[in-house]
Homo-oligomer: A and B are copies of this chain.
């Protein structure tokens, strides 16, 4: 490791990292609104226009921050899996779910930046190839791949096609290649797992569950057990 060298591009990379670190710092205590171009510049003793040598706009800076956060979350979840030695892939899914929740609870501001109100009316069909979007795809693939592994490790029973309807089956079949050849009914159950997990964590982190449950931890555990059993996984029972 030859960090801090005198090379010019290394100095550039260093200040670039400092910028993103300052942006992260401002994000943590102050929310998304607090990470402004001038605030970041002020944080490291620079004048605002200097940042334009590193990012073409404020939006680009936020985008880079988003991409970094996605990658950080992705690698954290992947490391959580590889750490697990047991061959029980269901347990890995359990670890992934809890890992995502714990990350969100530990970093609410970052979580809000990544998952709060994403593209209400942006061009969805268009090829928005922003680095943040690519990082989000890599993040989504972590779940996709694990759930496909779980399926091929121990195929779980899934609802019959008649129960889901022809249109939904058609859509799910089109996505089969992205799920390593899983049948549409199994993809449906996997999607249910993801949807419920995502909704639960968002509601808890964003505080929309506090007005009915003071501590959503026990509720989350119960829900996780429920959706885990829907995938034929045996989960740890609730402690009495």
Query: In the complex the two chains form, is B117's CB within 8 Å of A221's CB?
Result: no
Whether A130 sits at the interface, judged by CB under 8 Å, is no
Contacts of A22 in B (CB 8 A): none
Which stretch of A36-44, A70-78, A81-89, A163-171 is in the interface? A163-171
Query: In the complex the two chains form, is A164's CB within 8 Å of B206's CB?
Result: no
Q: Count residues on chain A whose CB falls below 8 Å from chain B CBs.
A: 57
Question: Contact check: which of B191, B214, B218 meets A212 at CB < 8 Å?
Answer: B191
Query: In the complex the two chains form, is B188's CB within 8 Å of A195's CB?
Result: no
Whether A177 sits at the interface, judged by CB under 8 Å, is no
Contacts of A202 in B (CB 8 A): 199, 202
Interface majority SS on A: helix, strand, loop or mixed?
helix
Which stretch of A11-19, A47-55, A118-126, A149-157 is in the interface? A118-126
Q: Which of A108-155 contact B (CB under 8 A)?
A: 108-109, 111-112, 115-122, 124, 137, 140
Whether A68 sits at the interface, judged by CB under 8 Å, is no
Whether A222 sits at the interface, judged by CB under 8 Å, is yes
Q: Which residues of A contact B (CB under 8 A)?
A: 31, 108-109, 111-112, 115-122, 124, 137, 140, 162-168, 171, 175, 178, 188, 191-192, 195-196, 198-200, 202-203, 205-215, 218-219, 221-223, 225-226, 238-240
